[in-house]
Amino acid sequence: MTTLGVIFSPDHPPERLHDVALAADDAGLEQLWVWEDCFRESGVAAAAAVLGWTQRLAVGIGLMPVPLRNVAVTAMEIATVERLFPGRFVPGIGHGVLDWMGQVGSRAESPMTLLREYTDALHRLLGGETVTTSGRYVHLDAVALDWPPSAPPPLLVGAVKPRTLELATTYGDGVILTGDTTVEALRAAQEPLAAGRAASGRDAAEVVVFVTVQGRQPVADIVAKVDEYVAAGATTVALHAVGDDQYPHEDFVRLVAGDVRGAVD
């Protein structure tokens, strides 16, 4: 069954998150997604807060920019959150917006090399390995987590182009595709995603697609859009309501958890 989620974007103030999270949990929504856009809100802090406020809701971060974060720190944060709230955390990492990375002096000369080294090392650390590596960007000397997660959460990688799509399933457990992704682009992504799975030996991968919903779009239109993305290969569809200044997030999560979920099922 396809997982349905809703996005709480960081153009809303963080203090709004509490009521949205409680509404999502009460409504039976499966996932709530937060972002880590510069220079707005921390993804890890927001995710941990939501998990602490709620009982069953899963929380995804789409995504944490790797140039901003030492890989060992990211591993510690993910492991801590996963151990505190087992099975409810879905972390995502990615290049980040390159101009923003430049603003803080962290823009990599080769973003692909950084992401490949980082994803590989992070995946291994979360798996409980002791990691020694000396790459172009990632340097670890016998680093191991004292408290690795007993079952690591799926590590997702934000991707758009074929090389990054393949990297996401070669070194990670799946992919996050942005709200600009068309159904046709999702279909085209299946080939590089399959190549990555073949390289890693993994049988399956998570394919998370962020899908934009304009204003108070009719439920039937939302369901039709979700069905199109599912047919094209999405395992999770996270809906992002835009132009929703008159559409409180609490109403939207109830709509998705109720009418949309019932129709998609």
Q: What is the C-alpha separation between 96 and 138, in angstroms, rounded? A: 17
Residue 198's domain comprises 3-264
Is pLDDT of 10 > 70? yes
Q: What's the pLDDT band for 248 if we cut at 50, 70, 90?
A: confident
Handedness of CA 20, 21, 25, 26 (dihedral sign): negative
Three-state secondary structure call for residue 64:
strand
Contact 137, 113 (CB under 8 A): yes
pLDDT tens for residues 112-165?
Answer: 999 999 999 999 999 999 999 999 999 999 999 999 999 999 999 999 999 999
Q: What is the C-alpha separation between 34 and 175, in angstroms, rounded? A: 16
State the average pLDDT over residues 49-53.
Answer: 98
Q: Provide the pairing of β-strand 139-143 with 131-134.
A: antiparallel
CATH number (domain holding residue 229):
3.20.20.30
Three-state secondary structure call for residue 18:
helix
**Of 230, 241, 233, the residue nearest 265 (C-alpha):** 230
pLDDT tens for residues 181-235?
Answer: 999 999 999 999 999 999 999 888 999 999 999 878 999 999 999 999 999 999 9
Q: How many domains does the chain have?
A: 1
Q: What is the C-alpha separation between 237 and 2, in angstroms, rounded? A: 7
For 20, other C-beta atoms within 10 Å of its C-beta total: 20
Q: What is the C-alpha separation between 120 and 76, in angstroms, rounded? A: 15
